[in-house]
Amino acid sequence: MYQEFQKGWLEVITGPMFAGKSEELIRRIRTLKYARKNIVCFKPSIDDRYSEVAIASHAGGRYKAYPITKVEDMKQYVTADTDVVCIDEVQFFGRELIPVIDAWADSGIRVICAGLDMDFRGEPFGIMPTLLAKAEFVTKLSASCKICGEAATRTQRIINGKPAYYEDPVVLVGASESYEARCRKHHEVPHRPKEEK
């Protein structure tokens, strides 16, 4: 890079489940903590798979985070001396988070978000397309396909041993009992509408 960035920006870590998004977020948090940055972390309260009060990875990493139900509740924790705001599973938050993230970045805060870029149907997930477009830095991770072992960029939902239908609810919090990483070739979505030509 030949240019320097002003203080305050947005970083997004994305990819399918089991790609190491939360692990990468925790790694960055620990690096910034070592640099004596004042860090505030959030996670959606809906995601209580491994911990109710920590960003938690499938690999076992943990870092304290405030569980949030409403975006408005985040503001009380971010103060004038906050250097970094981290948000895990950001895809579960609504559009009202976008102007809040913009305001933090505009005020000089480094905002790091991690989340799924696509839902189990292979469609863009919630606010992620907007965050990816607005981010100064994007890290897109891949996992290993459960079927062939090649690079996986999609999340396969499994219900009773079979791929979930396209019309099933988008949000279903789970881990390896409900989801697998899959490549494009082995990602299955029964009942997906045919695209018009």
Tell me, yes or no, if 24 is annotated catalytic: no
Catalytic residue among 23, 24, 89, 180: 89
- DSSP character at residue 98: H
The residues pairing with 179 across neighbouring beta strands, listed in sequence order, are 157
Give the CA distances from residue 1 to residues 4, 59, 135, 154, in Å, rounded to whole numbers and listed in that order.
8, 32, 16, 30
Are the CB atoms for 152 and 181 separated by under 8 Å? yes
121 phi, psi to nearest 5 deg: -85, -10
Are the CB atoms for 44 and 93 separated by under 8 Å? yes
Rounded Cα gap, residues 117 and 99, in angstroms: 19
**Beta-strand runs (E) in the chain:** 9-15, 39-44, 54-56, 62-64, 66-68, 84-87, 110-116, 137-140, 143-144, 151-152, 154-159, 162-163, 179-182
Rounded Cα gap, residues 116 and 15, in angstroms: 5
Q: Which residues are catalytic?
A: 89
